[in-house]
Amino acid sequence: MRSRLLAALLLASAALAGGGGPPVQPVLKGDTQLHDPTLLKVGSAYVAMGTGIENVDGGTLRLRTSPDGITWADAGTLGVRIPDWISDQIGTQPPNLWAPTLSMHGGTTYLYYAVSVFGENTSVIGLSTNAKLDPKHPERGWVDRCPILTTKKSDPFNAIDPYRVNTPDGKAWMVFGSYWTGIKLRELDPVSGKLKGGRQYDLASRGGGAVEASTLVQHGKHYYLFVSFDRCCAGVDSTYRIIVGRSTALTGPYTDREGVPMMQGGGMQVQATKGNHIGPGGQEVYMDGAEQRLVYHYYDGNQNGVSHFQTAHLGWDADGWPDLGALPNGGN
């Protein structure tokens, strides 16, 4: 009897210590209605930002704040109107701004975002910076740095869905792209945040098919490229899913678990529709202290496809492939 009791206690201790695998994704509370989310920890607080709502509040980027990363509140929008230079870049006044990403370097916060003519690669990536982001007032302190990359119909790629990664060697890079010839990588000046000259690297492609929302993270000896496959932005009819590949070099080549190159459509599925947790994607990696986490959006089948954001601990299996853990409430 004592030996059985001891065995049960040891099993319970192992489960509490995380021996049962990656943690279940947390149940987020409050206002989590964001699309294409980005998330940044500032001090002990958290700021999230997402795509603007078409023709609402000027279509500017949406803000959410949290004291603990669990309970979220609406913090309004970033500004009240779209910058004037954007219509000059794409030839029309867009209804909203897309897919922001927040990062920090040397105490400065960098915000990259995209604007596009829907269904075309007439697009532009813009940049704003903030010398001291206040998590209580994340709408304040931003300086518009104007466009850093524009594409037009004659270009074979699409300047949307930017993500900045700062590497241990002091360099900075931007990964971006959607459909067309796929996901690209360019080097940035780490201080100005703008593009440097040099090569543009090809990281992933589906031969013109749906691949977008790229993000990069280093774990062990590998870099991991997360992307979203398939149909976005269709509510409960969305088929978005989160895909990953890895490489020993930031610049690629990236392959999936079976060795299929991501430039040939390869990729390992990390998360897809389950229950009322529909079309997960639009993901990016962020740091919560020393912990690597992923934030993404999904369409809630319980609310007729309203878009919410969700966070997950970025766990790793024995072979070094990512595991996001179980969905909160089993996806229902």
Tokens 């931003």 correspond to what residue?
142
Domain containing 86 equals 28-331
User: Is residue 157's pLDDT more than 80?
Assistant: yes
Mean pLDDT of 241-267: 98
- pLDDT per residue over 73-108, tens digit each? 999 999 888 999 999 999 999 999 999 999 999 999
Residue 5 forms part of a structural domain: no
Residue 169 forms part of a structural domain: yes
Residue 19 forms part of a structural domain: no
What's the whole-model pTM score? 0.93
Q: Which of 202, 212, 230, 284 is catalytic?
A: 212
Residue 212 forms part of a structural domain: yes
The Cα 74–Cα 65 span in angstroms is 7
Mean pLDDT (the chain, rounded): 93
The Cα 246–Cα 255 span in angstroms is 6
Residue 92 forms part of a structural domain: yes
- pLDDT per residue over 264-305, tens digit each? 999 999 999 999 999 999 999 999 999 999 999 999 999 999
The yes-or-no answer on residue 54 being catalytic is no
The yes-or-no answer on residue 120 being catalytic is no
87 three-state secondary structure: helix
Residue 10 forms part of a structural domain: no
Q: Which of 36, 161, 256, 300 is catalytic?
A: 36
Q: How far apart are the first and last CA of the chain?
A: 40
The Cα 201–Cα 246 span in angstroms is 15
Domains in the chain, number: 1
Mean pLDDT of 182-205: 97
**What confidence tier does 21 reach under pLDDT thresholds 50, 70, 90?**
low
User: Is residue 72's pLDDT more than 90?
Assistant: yes
Report DSSP letters for 268-331, one per residue: EEEE--BTTEEEEEEEEEEEETTEEEEEEEEEEGGGTTEEEEEEEE-EE-TTS-EE--PPGGGG
CATH number of the domain residue 310 falls in:
2.115.10.20
Residue 6 forms part of a structural domain: no
